Amino acid sequence: MQHRMGDFWFRLMALEYRIRSRPSSVLRELDEAGVRRGMRVLDFGCGPGRFTLPAARIVGSEGKVFAVDIHPLARLAVQKAAYRDGLTNIEVIDSDCATGLGPQSVDVVLLYDTFHDVMDKGAVLRELRRILGPVGRISYKDHTLWGEPLLALMRGNGFFPVEQELRSALVRKMLTLRGA
């Protein structure tokens, strides 16, 4: 369901993230996403772990971070960095959609710079809605899909916007009323 980039391009992307990514901006984005101690966070399309590792430090031993990626180099990079940093609260998942996680098992989903590569966006959003808790939210950033097309897609799959900027959004799961 998701386009997998070649190994060369993945390595180039990982290098770019190391060069341009400031720890303070990553921490600010995680704070804005609502990542807190004890939470269960899913980093969908985690890449080399730019958000996975700081999120694991924030949630601490009481929480958990699920790092989902289809690319084997991404999963390997996260596993190596977690081992190097002594982070035992990261679980790496090989997938482009289905996470294998239980219903309502995640508090926050990080959907950063990956959604444009997903072919069946509706299927991914349905999976994210399934695993998000009742007040779960998605923190979304992407350089190609934003604005009204993104919000219409989110609303159509059971999310409503909480905050939105030019190329980012924070959406929350819509609650379904029993008997409705």
Q: Which of 1-15, 109-123, 139-153 has the highest mean pLDDT?
A: 109-123
* Residue 2 falls inside a structural domain: no
pLDDT at 179 over 60: no
| Residues 6-39: tens digit of each pLDDT | 777 766 666 676 767 777 889 999 999 999 999 9
Q: Which amino acid is at 111?
A: L
Parent domain of 54: 7-173
Average pLDDT value over all residues in the chain: 87
Three-state DSSP class for residue 141 = strand
pLDDT at 69 over 60: yes
Which of the four pLDDT bands, split at 50, 70 and 90, describes residue 127? very high
Which residues share a beta bridge with 169?
140, 164
Q: Looking at the 3D structure of the chain, how many domains does it have?
A: 1
Distance (Å, rounded) from C-alpha 64 to C-alpha 56? 7
* Residue 180 falls inside a structural domain: no
The pairing of beta strand 168-173 with beta strand 132-141:
antiparallel
Let me know: does 104 contact 133? Beta carbons within 8 Å. Answer: yes
H/E element, 14 = helix 7-20
* Residue 32 falls inside a structural domain: yes
* Residue 53 falls inside a structural domain: yes
Report which DSSP code applies to 116.
G
Distance (Å, rounded) from C-alpha 103 to C-alpha 161? 22
pLDDT at 136 over 60: yes
* Residue 178 falls inside a structural domain: no
Give pLDDT, residue 176.
Answer: 53
* Residue 78 falls inside a structural domain: yes
Which of the four pLDDT bands, split at 50, 70 and 90, describes residue 151? confident
Q: Which two tokens stand for residue 97?
A: 């959609």
Which of the four pLDDT bands, split at 50, 70 and 90, describes residue 147? confident
Give the start-end residues of each E strand in 48-157. 64-69, 90-94, 106-112, 132-141
Give me the CATH number covering residue 62. Answer: 3.40.50.150
Is pLDDT larger for residue 142 or for residue 139? 139
